[in-house]
Amino acid sequence: MDSIPMNVSGHFNYWVAIFLMMTGFYVVISRGNLIKKLIGLNLFSTSVFILYISLGKIHGATAPIASETFHLYSNPLPHVLILTAIVVGVATTAVGLALTARIYEQYGTIEEDEIRIKDESL
């Protein structure tokens, strides 16, 4: 169970999700552009959603809506949690974008380093 080669096929999904998460995380912390940062945050959280949904999947199962022909359903609880998380994500993005728009009006730029220079010159 413990050896890595056996895990590869079973954990492939998780690892790709982690790779995507880290790409998003990298965009957030390495980029100075505010909109790019928000895109990175979106990427980061969407990839976490992929991880959650992967955890809820069962091989050979079907979507969790009761029907006569199926008896094995994937776990519906992660789906519910992620529905909530998606809403939280878009809410945060919207507030972030509103802040960006105001920052552009006030500073004339949305690059972090230029904003810093304008603040220090005062």
Q: How many chain residues touch other proteins (CB under 8 A)?
A: 105
The maximal CA–CA distance of the chain, rounded, in angstroms, is: 70
Q: Residue 114 CB, nearest distance to other proteins (Å)?
A: 8
Interaction mask 19-58, other proteins, x per CB under 8 A: xxxxxxxxxxxxxxxxxxxxxxxxxxxxxxxxxxxxxxxx
Element (DSSP H or E) covering residue 53: helix 34-56
Interaction mask 55-94, other proteins, x per CB under 8 A: xxxxxxxxxxxxx----xxxxxxxxxxxxxxxxxxxxxxx
Interface with other proteins, residue 117, by CB under 8 A: no
Q: In Å, what is the CA distance from 41 to each residue of 6, 46, 55, 100?
A: 33, 8, 22, 14
Residues in CB range of 72: below 8 A, 6 or more apart: 58, 60, 61, 62
Q: Residue 74 CB, nearest distance to other proteins (Å)?
A: 4
Give the position of tokens 């359903």: 73
Binding other proteins (rule: CB under 8 A), the pick from 5, 69, 96, 121 is: 96
